[in-house]
Amino acid sequence: MTSSDLQTDLWNRIQAGDKSALKALFELHYHGICQTIHRYVADHALVEDLAQEVFIRFWEKREQITIAVSVQAYLRRMAVNEALGWLRRNKRWEEEEFHPEMSAALDHSAEEQFMHGEMERSIANAIDALPPKCRTVFQLSRFEELTYQEIADQMGISIKTVENQMGKALRLLRERLKAYLDVA
């Protein structure tokens, strides 16, 4: 059974209310979720608390959740949202608790925030405009952090095809986002 098949099976069992499937999913992804949260929050105990909260919310909302790409990608997005939500709720920007680059990133002017939002929308639109196979390879590599081998296995294609599709995606994104890349 491939990793993708295992995750699909676990997801189906979780939707049916199988707590043992949630436990298996937790064991499979807990470390990666902690790593994702740690990008925003430095305190190890808090990282673990937030990671557990991700799985609790995942379980509680399982009937409303729609998985578009993969369970792993959904959990990572939940982890980022959980970390950012905690930061917003607690409004604690002390450098001993958070990474310095995070507190600097949160201290933007309204104009910088607007420009950042514009850039994010442009990036999202550029990714959405990629050809389907190209977009899937890019998302699996960059958002789910899968290796080329894992992508090849999941999609049933060769590693060379993954490399070609990734190269094409990056080339198209560079072309479409040239206005942001030329700023120097």
Instruction: Identify the pLDDT of residue 94.
Output: 46
Nearest to 79 by CA among 55, 44, 104: 55
CATH of the domain spanning 108-184, picked from 1.10.10.10, 3.40.960.10, 3.90.1170.50, 1.10.357.10: 1.10.10.10
Mean pLDDT, range 84-95, rounded to an integer: 68
Mean pLDDT, range 162-184, rounded to an integer: 84
CB 94 within 8 A of CB 70: no
pTM score of the predicted model: 0.53
Phi and psi angles of residue 95, each rounded to the nearest 5 degrees, phi first? -65, -25
What DSSP element (H or E) covers 77?
helix 71-90
Q: Would the pLDDT of 101 be above 60?
A: no
Amino acid at 93: W
Is the domain covering 1-107 a CATH 1.10.3720.10 domain? no
